[in-house]
Amino acid sequence: MSILFSERTKTFHLFNQEISYVMTVLPNGHMGQLYFGKKIHHKEDFSYLQEKVQRAMAACVFDDDATFSLEHIKQEYGVYGTTDFRHPAVSILQKNGSTLSDFLYESHRITEGKPKLPGLPATYTEEPKEAETLIIKLRDPLTGIVLELFYTIFAKGGILARSVRFQNEGTEAVQLKRAMSLCMDLPDSEYDWLQFSGAWARERHLKVRRLEQGIQAVDSIRGNSSHEQNPFIVLKRPTADETQGEVIGFSLVYSGNFLAQAQVDTQDTTRVLLGIHPFGFGWKLDPGASFQTPEAVMVYSSRGLGDMSRTFHRLYRSRLARGYWRDRERPILNNNWEATYFDFTEDRLVEIAKKAKECGVELFVLDDGWFGDRRNDHAGLGDWIVNRELLPGGISGLAEKIEALGMRFGLWFEPEMVNPDSDLYRAHPDWILKTPGRHASLGRHQHVLDFSRREVVDAVYVMMKKILSEAKVSYVKWDMNRSITECYSEALPADRQGEVFHRYILGVYDLYERLTSEFPEVLFESCASGGGRFDPGLLYYAPQGWASDDSDAVERLKIQYGTSFCYPVSSIGSHVSVTPNHQVYRDTPLHTRANVAYFGTFGYELDLNKLAGEEIIQVKEQIRFMKTYRKLIQFGDFYRLSSPFEKNITAWMVVSEDRRQAVVGWYRTLNGANVPLGRLRLSGLDENLSYCVCEEGLESGACYYGDELMNAGLVTTENGAMDGTLSEKHSCDFDSRIYVLKAED
């Protein structure tokens, strides 16, 4: 890993064993992009990569150089209007009404490790040698605005982290109208665009299309990263697949409004922008003030989508997630929500917990409905005081009973919201986001608290801290059940209303930071009606997130497959739910519900007392299996084998770091008659090791070399539907199998 600067050519080269990133100071003082991709040899002069040709109708910076038009030069942080007509990375409204800027190179510095971003989540290092950071200082001589471009290259993997800091060293206030975290100009457009889109209960479905001239984008202006889109895109060469080919992943470590955009011009070059969505954004920068953008992470791989994903997984699992639970196996839990909804008593909860303990569950979670007048979703939200009629011993009393059973206790909160029918709202009706003179909309019968205000965050913190201090709470499920409407804060003047969306997210991060610091051994799980805020920003505070409110195993195949392109298995909240499923009313075999949920944090979303005796035996076996293999599953290397977006068969697997163990998940959506032969080519194994392959539930299996399993494949053929006969174990719709591989000594 090195960051080298050539004084003669004013060229920077950032590189490690995987990648090179080359940029230069352009003749006009701006920063130009020369190369990003697979590692290349270092040399002092890469100027040949700066392609300049005279083009008709091009506006040029210099009168005597008709080839130097910023419209046709790759840049590091493009500005609109000074011969560049593409969408810019930055736009600053000045007192005279102009939005033009002219950021010129002034200096740079190189440091070991990686600086923190104040008030924002970001990747980090634990040892200085893990990364190096380049900070390039640019200045606009007219306004005095200083722009610092941060580039961190990690020692391992094709990873480059980027962010931007603005400092007003001028004499007049300005308004930041656009401040992207990343601007990346690529020399061609021969890419497929991958995005991860959906809606509530079908989040992060993979969508693929070719880049074309014009603009392709995903975004959110809902106040949260959203169910609809995810702040993550991939550009891959058309021939690239899971195991080979050039791939670039772009991920934003942020939980609010975002824009991820690719603009292909008529010369077929591509500009990628990633950062806070400029729609509705405006940040007043007074003299002496600064603004820090969220972090954007780029991962390059020449070995396909799978390698890119595993690079993201390792980084986000160990250098974005933090704290006590980062490297620990996650407890198997039982949540009462789909078992009882709001209809519970303390005795009923204890009854459910006793059965869970008998089956081997380690954590019992009380969901919504334990506080204030919360007997439905119309009232009580915001009043974080236990309802003693439901829980006579309070949260502390219930927690003690659960602990006495030999389990840990967890609790649900939705701290960012308030019902109009609540004591908090009646005392502070001005504490919600609402526009003066306008109707204040409701979502799930609730308003959004104004987390841009310190006093609001403080009040919620005091209530939550009291509960967590007085009771043995080992886990917190942090929910958020609506997007932001009427985004206006009564605490800010008119010229700062464009700051509210971002200040709101900073308030959420602040509350998370305080609570996770105060209660470092509590496991926090983020939730937003399921997957409405499943993003890297929250992984910094909560090492796992509820991936979707849709707990149907068949639907979860697509959700978890799509999620895996960026996010590690250890971050994916996944449970076994009741059947018929409460979201799609599908009947799915119990073994398939577990076989899907294994590839995540694992738990149960039901009342185990309602299962038949044979099913309880299955549950006990499932829990024993997960306890045996959860370290491998949650922290091993993940490989996608067959896509639910393309085939009736879905398959994936995890492999241990030493490649001596693996667990394979195989899932078929619909059964068929006289089905074709089936083979599944595995990945990630040691070709020279012999593996004993055993299907879950069987005591022994045959052994094969790794090269056989990866090239010839694992035989998965079965009888399928026969002519009027049934085998002892007949196949069915929504079937699945788990295979365990262990290397022979």
**Domains, the chain:** 2-319 (2.70.98.60), 333-550+578-587 (3.20.20.70), 649-743 (2.60.40.1180)
Residues 412, 477: Cα–Cα separation, whole Å:
5
Angstrom distances, CA of residue 184 to CA of 128, 231, 250, 271: 27, 16, 10, 6
- Enumerate residues 6+ apart whose C-beta is below 8 A from 642: 649, 650, 651, 652, 680
What is the Cα 344 distance to its own chain's centre? 33
Query: How many CB atoms are closer than 10 A to CB 484?
Result: 21
Weakly modelled stretches of the chain, pLDDT under 70: 719-730
Is 549 annotated in the active site?
yes
Quick check: 651 and 667 in contact, CB under 8 A? yes
| Residue of 629, 537, 604 whose CA lies nearest to 224 | 537
Angle made by CA atoms 680, 681, 682, in degrees to the nearest 5: 110
Residue 398 bridge partners (DSSP): none
Query: How many CB atoms are closer than 10 A to CB 463?
Result: 17
Residues 492, 456: Cα–Cα separation, whole Å:
14
Question: Which helix (H) or strand (E) element contains residue 90?
Answer: strand 90-93
pLDDT at 53: 86
| Strand 447-448, strand 475-478: pairing | unpaired
| Residue of 39, 27, 69, 35 whose CA lies nearest to 187 | 35
Q: In this structure, what DSSP letter does residue 363 have?
A: E
| Strand 475-478, strand 408-413: pairing | parallel
pTM over 0.85: yes
Quick check: 296 and 253 in contact, CB under 8 A? yes
Write down the H helix ranges in 14-60: none
- Active-site residue identified among 307, 421, 479, 607: 479
Is 495 annotated in the active site?
no
In 374-414, DSSP assigns E strands to 408-413
Residue with tokens 């040899």: 41
| Residue of 661, 669, 677, 743 whose CA lies nearest to 712 | 677
pLDDT at 537: 98
Torsional class of 204: left (φ above 0), alpha (ψ -120 to 50), beta (otherwise):
left
pLDDT at 57: 87
Quick check: 14 and 160 in contact, CB under 8 A? yes
Omega cis (within 30) before 580: yes
Grouping H, G, I as helix, E, B as strand and the rest as coil, residue 267 is coil
Amino acid at residue number 89: A
Q: In this structure, what DSSP letter does residue 688 have?
A: T
Q: What is the largest CA-CA distance in the chain?
A: 87
Residue 184 bridge partners (DSSP): 272
One-character DSSP codes across 336-362: -HHHHTT---HHHHHHHHHHHHHHT--
Angstrom distances, CA of residue 473 to CA of 22, 355, 417, 459, 518: 50, 20, 21, 20, 13
Crossing angle between the packed helical segments 346-359 and 394-405, to the nearest 10 degrees:
20
- Active-site residue identified among 367, 450, 549, 637: 549
